[in-house]
Chains A and B, each alone.
Chain A
Amino acid sequence: MRKIYFLVLFPIFFSCNPTPEIDDTTMLDGNQIFDLSLTQPEDYLVSEYITNPTEEQKNTPVLIAAHGYTATTFEWDEFREYADEKGTFFVSQVLLGGHGRTYADFKASSWEDWQSSIKEEYIKLSNKGFKNIYLAGSSTGAPLIIHLLSSGFFKDYTRPKGIFLIDPIVVSSNKTLTMVGLLGPILGYTSVDLSTGEVGKWYVYRPQETLKQLMKLIDMTRINLEKGILITPDIYVKVYKSKVDDTADPVSAVMIYKGIKFDSQPDKTIDVQMVNSSIHVFTRLKGREGVTDADTLNQQEAFDDMSRIMTE
C-alpha cells in the first residue's frame, strides 16, 4: 500500500516543484544576461541622464514607457530611437521590477514590484519639475498604469498629461490563465518559444507564481474598470489595440473604454483605435520574423500619432 501512495504522490510532488533548465549563456532567465538598464540607467531613464533639467527641458514632453510581462526595455527601444530622431520629446524606458534579471528574481516578484519602477521614475520626474509627463504601457504595462489612475497615485505629484495603452491586457486571449490558481501548482511554469531576435530579451520561463500575479493584476483591473475609474478631463487617454491578438484579448479595449470616465464630463470618452494587426504589441517589430509593410506602417502611424498628441 505504501508503494501505491508513493507512486501516486511522487509525480504530483515532482510536477508541483519543477525547476526549468536554464542556459545561462543564451537565456535572460540565467545569471549572465541582464537588461542593460540595470548597469547603464543613464542610457534608459530620463531622471538619470537629465539630472538637473533646464526650464526648456522641464517643458519638453517626457514619456515613461513601461513594457509587458516577461519583457524588457527592448520592447520600447524602437520608440526611443524614434524620439531621439525627432528630438521633440524624451522617452524614459523603465524596467519593471523582477524583470530583466534572473528566473529566481522573476519568480519572487509581485505585480506591485513590477509597478514600482514606473512609480519611482514618475516621482523623480515630477520632483525634478518636468511639467508634461506622459505614460505608455504595452500589454501588462497598461494595467500597471491603469492601477496608478485608480489608486490615486498621481494626486501628490504633477498630473500626467496623457496615457497611451498599447495592446493592453485586461482579459487574456488564452482563457486557461483564469484557471492558474488550480493548474499552476501542478504545472510549475510554462515556457515560450522566442525568435532568434528575441532571445535574451524576454524570459523564456513563466513561473506559475508570476502567472498568478498577472491574473491577480488583470482581474483587479477589470473590477476597478467595472466600478469606474474617474479621472480629470485634462488627462488624455488613448488605447491602440490589435484586432487580432493571441495574448491580450481585444475585448480588453472595450473594458477600458467603458471603465475610464471623466470627472464632471459623463459623456466624454477615451480614444480607442482598433488596429488592423495580428501582432501583440504591434509597436515592437525588432526581433520579429515575417514583418510586413502593413506592420511597419501600423507602427509608424502609432508613433506619429503619439508624437503629435504629445507635442501639439
Chain B
Amino acid sequence: MKKFNILLFLLFFVGAGFAQKVNVNAGMIFQKTEALYWENGVGADFSMPGVFDNQLHLNLNYVSSRLGTALMYNAIKQDNLIIGLNWHFLHKKDLQIKAGVNTGLFLVDYESAIFDDLPSSSALFQIETGLSYQFKFPVIASLTAGYNLISGDGVSVPGTLFPVFYKLSVFYRFK
C-alpha cells in the first residue's frame, strides 16, 4: 500500500509537471563517505511553481565509486541509485537551506566468487541537509551532509555502506 501511495505521488508530481512549468536542474555530484570512498556521478533536481511554490524538490542521483576512488585505485566497485525529496527553506533567496529524505538501492561488486556469500545489495534510507546557492549565471551549487539510516554490518548489509557522507552538487539550471 505504501509503495502504491509513493507511486501515486510520483505520478501526480510528473503529471502536474506536464500541465505546468517544471524547473529542471541537472549536473554532477561529488560524494565523500566519511572514512571511505569518493563516489561521484550525476543527478537531476525537479521542482514546480504549482507544487509548494518550488519549495519541494524531487531529486534523482546516481553516484558510484566507479567514478570516484575505484577509477584510479583498488576500491570496491559500488553504486548508489537514489531518489529523494527535499524541502528548500528561504526558497526565494539565492542562499537556501535544504533538508530531505532519500531512498534507493546500494549495489556492490566484489569481482570474485570467493566473496559470493557476502551481501551485495541493500536498500538505502538517508536523511540529508545542507545549503544550496543559486548563482546569477544558471548554476546551482549545493553542499550537504547526510546520514545513512541503514549501515553495513557485513552480514545482511554490505560492509561498505557507511553512515556519514558529504555531497557537493553542481547543477546547470535548465529552466
A binding-site residues for B, Cβ under 8 Å: 171, 173, 175-176, 178-179, 215, 219, 222, 225-228, 243-246, 249-255, 257-259, 272, 274
- Check B152–A254 contact: CB distance below 8 A: no
- Check B76–A254 contact: CB distance below 8 A: yes
Q: Given A173-B153, A178-B34, A249-B153, are A226 and B117 neighbors across the interface (CB < 8 Å)?
A: no
Closest to A269 in B: B112
CA distance A178 to B75 in the complex (A): 18
Candidates B73, B76, B111, B151; contact of A251 at CB < 8 Å: B76
Q: Given A225-B74, A257-B112, A257-B114, are A251 and B155 neighbors across the interface (CB < 8 Å)?
A: no
A-B contact pairs, 5 of them (CB 8 A): A249-B153, A250-B155, A251-B152, A274-B115, A274-B117
CA distance A135 to B69 in the complex (A): 30
CA distance A226 to B111 in the complex (A): 15
Closest to A174 in B: B153
Please tell me if B159 contacts chain A, counting CB pairs below 8 Å: yes
Over the window 105-133 of chain B, the binary record of Cβ atoms lying under 8 Å from chain A Cβ atoms (1 yes, 0 no) is 00000111011011000000000000000
Please tell me if B160 contacts chain A, counting CB pairs below 8 Å: yes
- Check A251–B158 contact: CB distance below 8 A: yes
Candidates A215, A225, A228, A243; contact of B117 at CB < 8 Å: A243
Grouping DSSP codes into helix (H, G, I), strand (E, B) and loop, the B interface class, with mixed when no group exceeds half, is loop
B binding-site residues for A, Cβ under 8 Å: 34-36, 69, 73-76, 110-112, 114-115, 117-118, 151-155, 158-160, 162-164
Q: Given A228-B74, A245-B154, A250-B159, are A219 and B117 neighbors across the interface (CB < 8 Å)?
A: no
With contacts defined as CB atoms under 8 Å apart, how many contacts are there between chain A and chain B in the complex?
A: 77
- Which chain A residues lie closer than 8 Å to B159 at the CB level? 171, 173, 249-252
- Check B114–A178 contact: CB distance below 8 A: no
- Check A227–B73 contact: CB distance below 8 A: yes
CA distance A95 to B85 in the complex (A): 53
CA distance A37 to B35 in the complex (A): 35
Closest to A228 in B: B74
Nearest 6 pairs between A and B by C-beta? A251-B159, A249-B159, A249-B154, A226-B73, A178-B35, A258-B74
CA distance A45 to B116 in the complex (A): 39
- Check A178–B164 contact: CB distance below 8 A: yes
Given A222-B36, A257-B112, 12 new contacts (CB under 8 A): A171-B154, A175-B152, A179-B34, A179-B163, A219-B35, A226-B73, A227-B73, A249-B152, A249-B154, A255-B74, A257-B114, A258-B74
